[in-house]
Amino acid sequence: MSTEWSAGYVTDVNYTFGYYGELNPLRCRLPLLLSGWHAPKVENACELGFGQGLSVSIHAAAQPSVNWYGTDFNPSQAAFASEMVGLAGADAKLYDEAFAEFCHRADLPDFDFIGLHGIWTWISDENRAVLVDFVRRKLKPGGVLYVSYNTLPGWSATAPLRHLMKRHAEVMGAPGQGIIGRTDAALGFMDRFLALEPLYAKANPVAVERLKQIKDQDRKYLAHEYMNRDWSPMYFSDMEAWLREAKVSFGSSAFTLDNIHELNMTPAQVEFMRSAPDASLRETIRDFCVNQQFRRDYWVRGLRAVAGHEQVTTLREERVVLTTGKEELPKTVRGATGEALLLDQIYQPIFELLLDHRPHTIQELESHLGAKGVNFVQLSSALMILLGLGAIHPAGPGQDISKAKTRTTALNKAIARRSVSVGDIGTFASPVIAGGVAAPRFQQLFWMSKQNGAKTPDEWAAFVWSLLQSQGQAIIKDGATLQGDANLAELKAQAEAWGAKVLPLWTALGL
């Protein structure tokens, strides 16, 4: 369904409840500093098209010193997001206004950070121009724009799939089918059609593979990804041309593994790319080498190189937290060209210091590693990798912690209350990292049980089983529905594992 206010955007199913750490403004400092650029201190932040608003709710709750603003024109989503912010006791100003309306409000401050995730590719040129104009007028000098978008050449072979699905929905779809029905029908049509081996499928075997993957994805996500009127994947240079008006320049990928060329390209490709005299051409060569499909980038208004000595002194003051449990510490890292080992000599001392899951300054890490013969350059590259793997996270500002904790606990209780019936939110808020932490449904409910005073895994499991039973729900494991006591046994095993491995981490992260 397309309404007058929706500008061709899918509005008859609401979006999924994803959390995206890239939208956390406090998280952009390290990737930028490690890439050699100045990074802002953030006072005012804005998220455009926040969907269900899980990211903005978590950030508003966990960052009392940041003034949060945002909009999403879908009123049910904006209502949900506002409710979550209210339940957290935070005071983000969230609206259900279209970009054109919100971006011209007279009561907005200038921003240090503007974020938009999953928006740029799916809106009209007219709306893109509204956003660029907003960034030009409202992003402070030195401020950061985070924007993600579907990228060329990675979509070249598979973009025709989307075209045909959309055409099928337009021609064959009936309004009464609803968008999910039309998406399902279009997928069935594609399946039958590609099985006939049209030359397109023969020339693009990757498209056939993609269709197989698509079929398993969340239908709400698929409707938003494939069924909008607008859908324009872009080359890096086209994006750059759009953003030039806003006076921003590319700083760093928010997905820091993308910044490590040696992980994603062969040595000859790296040399070829580095020989290009122009930074924009180098990014494009890189995107071709890895067949980039989706970029998540930080752009800076007034990009300034941070001088060598200043880079080191600024980095030393940044604090990081280990967000992975002891059993899950990474041993390898995978890039576009394959897998690389994380050398024990460098990574073991890092884990040794960080294993208390408390914030540590990079200066502490430097001293600890220096004693073991590891230098600052090696440490910097290890931090880039560990950030990309999600094994470490920048710590939030220490002075805000008790106010943040009151709010994040209230938000987590609200999230867990929802999870009593449905499992669509898989993230809790942490005051220590001022961001989100993965929290699957049953773990949230074990936590809720513990908050209510239960002490042992058996008690946590019994609590969750009673909740499931009261709603006629059972656990699905390996595709099969568990019967009777098998549910309790499964929950006990999960509660034991949660208590032993996850709870200590959550406690350290202030959950």
Ligand X SMILES: C[S@@+](CC[C@H](N)C(=O)[O-])C[C@H]1O[C@@H](n2cnc3c(N)ncnc32)[C@H](O)[C@@H]1O
**CA 180 distance to own-chain centroid:** 24
Of 55 and 324, CB closest to ligand X? 55
Report in angstroms how near the CB of residue 374 gets to ligand X at its nearest: 37
Report in angstroms how near the CB of residue 248 gets to ligand X at its nearest: 19
Contact criterion met (CB below 8 Å) for 388 and 257: yes
Report in angstroms how near the CB of residue 4 gets to ligand X at its nearest: 12
Of 59 and 117, CB closest to ligand X? 117
d(CA 45, CA 18): 19
Q: Which of 358, 428, 368 is nearest to 395 (CA)?
A: 358
Of 33 and 415, CB closest to ligand X? 415
Q: Point out which residues bind ligand X (CB under 6 A).
A: 7, 9, 15, 18, 20, 49-51, 71-74, 77, 98-99, 117-119, 122-123, 127, 224
Q: How many CB atoms lie within 10 A of CB 422?
A: 11
The torsion of the CA quartet 257, 261, 265, 266, rounded to 10 degrees, works out to -130
Cis peptide before 153 (omega within 30 of 0): yes
Report in angstroms how near the CB of residue 397 gets to ligand X at its nearest: 25
Of 21 and 457, CB closest to ligand X? 21
Residue 7: beta bridge partners?
none
Of 51 and 233, CB closest to ligand X? 51
Of 24 and 77, CB closest to ligand X? 77
Report in angstroms how near the CB of residue 52 gets to ligand X at its nearest: 7
- HSE-up (13 A, CA, CB side) for residue 294: 8
Q: Which residue has the tokens 């990228």?
A: 151
Contact criterion met (CB below 8 Å) for 129 and 240: no
Of 122 and 428, CB closest to ligand X? 122
Report in angstroms how near the CB of residue 475 gets to ligand X at its nearest: 27
Report in angstroms how near the CB of residue 59 gets to ligand X at its nearest: 12
Sequence letter at residue 24? N
d(CA 29, CA 39): 5
Counting every residue written for the chain, the total comes to 511
282: which 2 tokens? 């180098």
Of 23 and 382, CB closest to ligand X? 23
Report in angstroms how near the CB of residue 71 gets to ligand X at its nearest: 6
Report in angstroms how near the CB of residue 63 gets to ligand X at its nearest: 18
Whole-angstrom distance between the N-terminal and C-terminal Cα of the chain?
A: 40
Of 242 and 446, CB closest to ligand X? 242
Contacts of 184 (CB under 8 A, 6+ apart): 219
Report in angstroms how near the CB of residue 225 gets to ligand X at its nearest: 7
3-state secondary structure of 336: coil
Q: Which residue has the tokens 């059609």?
A: 193
Q: Which of 16, 18, 15 is nearest to 427 (CA)?
A: 18
d(CA 398, CA 250): 30
Of 7 and 201, CB closest to ligand X? 7
Q: Report H helices in 50-204.
A: 54-62, 75-88, 99-102, 125-138, 159-172, 178-194, 199-203
Q: In which element (H, E) is residue 460 found?
A: helix 457-470
In the complex, residue closest to ligand X by CB: 51
d(CA 202, CA 195): 11
Of 49 and 173, CB closest to ligand X? 49
Report in angstroms how near the CB of residue 238 gets to ligand X at its nearest: 20
Q: How many CB atoms lie within 10 A of CB 265?
A: 20
d(CA 3, CA 366): 56
Q: Which of 313, 381, 303 is nearest to 37 (CA)?
A: 303
**CA 289 distance to own-chain centroid:** 24
Report in angstroms how near the CB of residue 408 gets to ligand X at its nearest: 20
Of 33 and 85, CB closest to ligand X? 85
Contacts of 323 (CB under 8 A, 6+ apart): 357, 390, 391, 392, 393, 433, 437, 505, 509
Report in angstroms how near the CB of residue 208 gets to ligand X at its nearest: 25
Long-range contacts of 214-221 (CB under 8 A, 24+ apart): 214/161, 214/187, 215/187, 215/191, 218/16, 219/13, 219/180, 219/183, 219/184, 220/13, 220/14, 220/15, 220/16, 220/180, 221/15, 221/16
Of 7 and 475, CB closest to ligand X? 7
